[in-house]
Amino acid sequence: MMILVTGGSGSGKSAFAEDCVVSFGGEERVYIATMYPFDEESKKRVQRHRKMRQGKGFKTIECYTRLERVQVPEDSTVLLECMSNLVANEMFQEDGAHEDTVASVLRGVRQLKEQTGNLVIVTNEIFSEAATYQGDTERYQEYLGKINQELAEMAEQVVEVVYGIPIYHKECAPEGQEGSGDDEKPVEQL
């Protein structure tokens, strides 16, 4: 099962994604952290997320670039957070994939998916605002937008979190119940 969790800034995506992982049950939980702590603000952010994860039994793997190198245990549940950071790292860090970012990230996700049964990926909506961008920032939106679309295609479930409220954009029938021809379920409220 792969779940893609998206939403705006400060919308409660992480808390929701962690709940998804915990609800999968399972013994081993792996957190793939992609935020490079380059200044005070990002260090604080990392601290905040660590505090949220405390006591939930996650083993943390830091991965700022080249997701395809990450190895996870076979039966683990994996939470990758956040795609927007990974894409920025791949594009702008020296050892990143640069113009090969989209292909490189998708390769990494496919490999993760092959290694583990349950994968939750947190991404970000950065596409709706009045400001327009050029150059690197516009390309960043383009790359992340493309990746999000591909991930949504791969995922069994796509959830947008709006102020902590999940809105299901894609939800397939659980395994063993496929083939009914009707993959869509009505919006559920938690």
Q: How many CB atoms lie within 10 A of CB 47?
A: 11
Which DSSP helix (H) or strand (E) runs through 84?
helix 83-92
Residue number with CB closer to other proteins (61 or 168) = 168
Nearer to other proteins, 154 or 167 (CB): 167
Rounded Cα distance, 11 and 162, in Å: 6
How much is the CA Rg of the chain, to the nearest whole Å? 16
Helix (H) or strand (E) holding 96: none
Residue of the chain from 38, 133, 178, 184 that contacts other proteins (CB under 8 A) = 133
Specify the residue, 48 or 59, whose C-beta has the smaller distance to other proteins.
Answer: 48
Residue nearer to other proteins on the CB measure, 11 or 77: 11
Q: Contacting other proteins (CB under 8 A), which of 27, 41, 74, 114?
A: 41
Residue with smaller CB distance to other proteins, 116 or 140: 140
Q: Does 164 bind other proteins (CB under 8 A)?
A: yes
Would the CA dihedral through 90, 31, 118, 187 be positive or negative?
negative
- Only one of the segments 61-69, 95-103, 135-143, 145-153 lies at the binding site for other proteins (rule: CB under 8 A); that segment is 135-143
Buried b (16+ CB within 10 A) or exposed e, 149-181: eebbeebbbbbbbeeeebeeebbeeeeeeeeee
Binding track, positions 108-127, relative to other proteins; x by CB under 8 A: -----------------xxx
Residues that bind other proteins (CB under 8 A): 7-12, 41, 125-131, 133, 137, 140-141, 162-165, 167, 187, 189
